[in-house]
Amino acid sequence: MRHYEIIFLVHPDQSENVGAMVERYRKHVEDSKGTSIELKTGVGVS
């Protein structure tokens, strides 16, 4: 089984849309018979 890591860099102006972005990509992965194991969020340097 292959493991991949996806990192999202989101512009601060779009921060309120992060949840929808994550769900859209998670759905794409799961529709392709993949699984999502862990989700970490954090605040980067501005």
Nearest 5 degrees, angle CA 22-CA 26-CA 31? 150
Please tell me whether the overall predicted TM-score, pTM, comes out greater than 0.95 for this model. no
- Read off the DSSP letter of residue 32: T
Contact 7, 25 (CB under 8 A): no
3 — pLDDT class (breaks 50, 70, 90): confident
Task: Tell whether the model's pLDDT for residue 2 goes beyond 90.
Answer: no
Cα dihedral 31, 13, 15, 7 in deg (nearest 10)? 60
Instruction: Kindly report, residue by residue over 8-31, the tens digit of the pLDDT.
Output: 788 889 888 888 988 998 899 899
For the chain, the farthest-separated pair of C-alpha atoms sits apart, in whole angstroms, at: 37
What pLDDT score was predicted for residue 43? 63
Task: Tell whether the model's pLDDT for residue 34 goes beyond 80.
Answer: yes
